[in-house]
Structure 1
Amino acid sequence: MVQAARAVILRTAAKSILLSMATAGVVLLGGCAGQGLAGMSRERASLAAPQDRDFPNPGSSILRQGTVPTTEALRLMRIGMDKDQVRQLLGPPHFSEGVFGVREWNYLFRLRGSKETEDVVCQYMVRFDGSVRVNGMYWRDPDCALLVEPPPVEAVQAKAAMTPQKLTLSTDSLFGAQGKDLKDMPPEGRLRIEHLANDIKRNFRRIYYVVVTGHTDRLGSEADKMALSLARADAVSKLLAQQGIDAKVIRVAGMGDRQPLAQCPGTVKTAVLQDCLRTNRRIEIEVVGEE
Structure 2
Amino acid sequence: MNKLSQTRTSVAMRTVPLATLCLAALLAGGCATSYTITPEMQARAASENPPPPKDEDFPAPGSATWRQGAFPNLEALRAMRTGMGKDQVRELLGFPHFSEGLAGVREWNYIFHFRTGAGPEYITCQYMVRFNADVLVNGTYWKGPGCADLLKPAPAAARPVAVIQPAPAPARTTTLGADGLFRFDGRSLADLLPDGRRKLDALASDIKASPSPVGAVRVTGHTDRLGSESYNQALSLARATTVRDYLVQAGVPAQSVQVQGRGESEPKVQCAQASRAALIDCLAPNRRVEIEVSTGR
Q: Which interval holds the TM-score relative to the shorter structure?
A: 0.3 to 0.5
Q: TM-score, normalised by structure 1?
A: 0.44
Q: TM-score, normalised by structure 2?
A: 0.43
- Structure of greater Rg: 2
